[in-house]
Chain A
Amino acid sequence: DAGITQSPRHKVTETGTPVTLRCHQTENHRYMYWYRQDPGHGLRLIHYSYGVKDTDKGEVSDGYSVSRSKTEDFLLTLESATSSQTSVYFCAIRGDSSSYEQYFGPGTRLTVT
């Protein structure tokens, strides 16, 4: 998994509660991404980061926020979880070549009841 870990790997939470997912990388890559994967959809970009404290929105950013205070950590926060945010969340890093290949973490399965 290219030195990428995600925590927790599984989480069940109730509607309305805040949730934070963590992505940690060991290879000092500049670009990091958060995606969600749902049945019937391809992976969809939530937010990405291009450096410490530098982040931008993706295709499905509503209801999510991110923070990156250190190169190695990229946090995804659901301020008030909803059932529509039940999904599998993947973190990815971009390799340093110009080909923009991305490497994915193992995923976090989040269930909002």
Chain B
Amino acid sequence: KNQVEQSPQSLIILEGKNCTLQCNYTVSPFSNLRWYKQDTGRGPVSLKIMTFSENTKSNGRYTATLDADTKQSSLHITASQLSDSASYICVVNYGGSQGNLIFGKGTKLSVKP
């Protein structure tokens, strides 16, 4: 069964600190993996980071890495800001022209002053 598991479920950090969120997937066939940010009460928004092989991609303070062998991805946030408080969702595309997606449950990040 296709699954995407994220850890931790929630995380509290102090403003200015770094953090890393994890995503493990068992999805076949695998096409690519994206990270989305969802603020409370709003729809998910792509962080514009897509990985599809052994690579690392960055967008500003966000860096995502993918290890296709272990089927793991991580999202690293540097120099956190209060506005980073949100849920971060790992999304795997398992191919097909319909753009079929499997969503993780998300990691809820709280950044405290």
Contacts and interface: CB of A to CB of B under 8 A. Distances in A.
A74 interface: no
A99 B32 contact: yes
Interface string B17-60: 00000000000000110100000011111100010000000000
A100 B89 contact: no
Contacts of A48: 98
A104 B104 contact: no
Nearest to B103: A42
B101 interface: yes
Contacts of B100: 45
B4 to A, nearest CB: 7
Contacts, number: 50
Given A99-B32, A101-B34, A42 B104 contact: yes
Contact of A104 (B4, B41, B45, B102): B45
Interface residues of B, number: 23
Nearest to B6: A42
B99 interface: yes
Contacts of B42: 106-107
Nearest to A6: B43
Contacts of B106: 42
A45 B101 contact: yes
Contacts of B76: none
B93 interface: yes
Contacts of A99: 32, 50
A22 interface: no
A97 B15 CA distance: 36
B50 A102 contact: no
A100 B43 CA distance: 17
Contacts of A12: none
Nearest to B48: A101
Contacts of A34: none
Interface of A: 1, 31, 40-45, 48, 50, 56, 90, 92, 94, 99-107
13 contacts: A31-B98, A41-B105, A42-B4, A42-B102, A42-B104, A42-B105, A42-B106, A43-B103, A45-B101, A50-B98, A90-B44, A102-B101, A107-B41
